[in-house]
Amino acid sequence: MNEEYDKLIETFREETYELLSELETSLFELEKDPHNGDAVSSIFRAFHSIKGAGGMFGFDEVSRFTHDIETVYDLVRGEKILPDKSLVDLSFAACDLIREMVTSPNEVQAQKKKADELLASLRQLFPEITEAKKTGKSALRGAGDLVLPAARLRAYRIRFRPAPDIFATGTNPALLLRELCGLGQCSVIAHSDSIPDLNGMDPELCYTSWDVILTTEQDMDAIRDIFIFVEDTAELIIEMIDDGESAVDSADYKKLGEILVEKRDITPKDLQKVLGGRKRLGEMLIDEGLVQPESIQAALIEQEQVRQIREGRLKKEVISNIRVSSEKLDKLVNLVGELVTVQARLSRHALYTDDPELGSIAEEVERLTAELRDNTMNIRMLPIGTTFSRFRRLVRDLSTDLGKEVEMVTEGGDTELDKTVIERLGDPLVHLIRNCIDHGIEPPQDRESLGKPRKGMVRLSATHSGANVLIEIEDDGAGLDAGAIRARAAQRGLVATDAELADGEIFSLILAPGFSTAEHITNISGRGVGLDVVKKAADSLRGEISIRSEKGKGTIIILSLPLTLAIIEGLLIRIGEEHFVLPLSAVEECVELIGGDSHGRHIANVRGRIVPYIRLREQFAIGGSAPEIEQIVIVRNETARVGFVVDTVIGENQTVIKTLGRVYKGLEGISGATILGDGTVALILDVSKLIRIVEEGEVSGQAIQ
Q: Distance between CA atoms of 272 and 45, rounded to whole angstroms?
A: 43
Phi, psi of 629 (to 5 degrees): -110, 115
Percent share of the chain, pLDDT over 70: 77
DSSP letters, 169-188, are GT--HHHHHHHHHTTEEEEE
Domain with CATH 2.30.30.40 in the chain: 567-695
**pLDDT tens digits, 12-31:** 888 888 888 888 888 988 98
Q: Distance between CA atoms of 274 and 296, rounded to whole angstroms?
A: 22
CATH architecture of 154-246: 2-Layer Sandwich (3.30)
DSSP letters, 219-268, are -HHHHHHHTTTTTTTSEEEEEEEE-S-S-TTPPPPPPHHHHHHHTTSS-H
Assign domain 567-695 one CATH number from 3.30.1360.20, 2.30.30.40, 3.20.20.70, 1.10.3720.10. 2.30.30.40
Nearest one of 258, 218, 266 to 238, comparing CA atoms = 218
Nearest one of 88, 150, 151 to 122, comparing CA atoms = 88
* Residue 155 three-state SS: strand
Q: Which residue has the higher pLDDT, 238 or 252?
A: 238
Place 515 in a pLDDT band, splitting at 50, 70 and 90: confident
pLDDT, mean of residues 314-339: 72
* Residue 492 three-state SS: coil
* Residue 616 three-state SS: helix
Superfamily of domain 384-562: Histidine kinase-like ATPase, C-terminal domain (3.30.565.10)
pLDDT reading at 673 higher than 70: yes
Which of 397-406, 418-427, 513-522 has the least mean pLDDT?
513-522
Specify the CATH number of the domain 326-382.
Answer: 1.10.287
**pLDDT tens digits, 59-98:** 888 888 888 888 888 888 877 788 888 888 889 999 999 9
- Hey, what long-range contacts does 397-401 have (CB within 8 A, 24 or more apart)? 398/433, 398/434, 398/437, 398/438, 398/524, 399/437, 399/441, 401/523, 401/524
Q: Distance between CA atoms of 654 and 648, rounded to whole angstroms?
A: 18
Q: Distance between CA atoms of 646 and 443, rounded to whole angstroms?
A: 55
Q: Distance between CA atoms of 118 and 97, rounded to whole angstroms?
A: 9
CATH architecture of 2-146: Up-down Bundle (1.20)
CA 226-228-229 angle, to 5 degrees, is 115
- 326-351 vs 356-380: helix crossing angle, rounded to 10: 160
Identity of the highest mean pLDDT range in 303-317, 392-406, 417-431: 392-406
Q: Distance between CA atoms of 629 and 634, rounded to whole angstroms?
A: 16
In order of 69, 94, 231, 429, 703, the CA distances from 59 in angstroms are 16, 15, 22, 33, 62
- Gyration radius of the chain's alpha carbons: 34
* Residue 682 three-state SS: strand
Local structure of residue 144 (DSSP, 8 states):
G
The pLDDT assigned to 455 comes to 92
Q: Where are the beta strands (DSSP E) in 26-167?
A: 140-141, 145-146, 154-161
Domain with CATH 1.10.287 in the chain: 326-382
pLDDT reading at 580 higher than 50: yes
Do 587 and 633 meet the contact criterion of CB atoms below 8 Å apart?
yes
DSSP letters, 503-567, are HHHHHGGGGSTT----SS--SSS-SS-SHHHHHHHHHHTT-EEEEEEETTTEEEEEEEEES-SSE
The pLDDT assigned to 136 comes to 38
In order of 26, 288, 384, the CA distances from 433 in angstroms are 22, 79, 16
Domain with CATH 3.30.565.10 in the chain: 384-562
Q: Distance between CA atoms of 444 and 404, rounded to whole angstroms?
A: 6
pLDDT reading at 618 higher than 60: yes
Mind spelling out the 3-state secondary structure of 297-356? HHHHHHHHHHHHHHHHHHHHHHCCCCCCCHHHHHHHHHHHHHHHHHHHHHHHHHHCCCCH
Compute the residue count for the chain: 705
Do 564 and 550 meet the contact criterion of CB atoms below 8 Å apart?
no
Query: Quick one: how far is CA 641 from the chain centroid?
Result: 35
Q: Which residue has the higher pLDDT, 250 or 332?
A: 332
pLDDT reading at 251 higher than 60: no
* Residue 669 three-state SS: coil
The pLDDT assigned to 286 comes to 59
pLDDT reading at 145 higher than 70: no
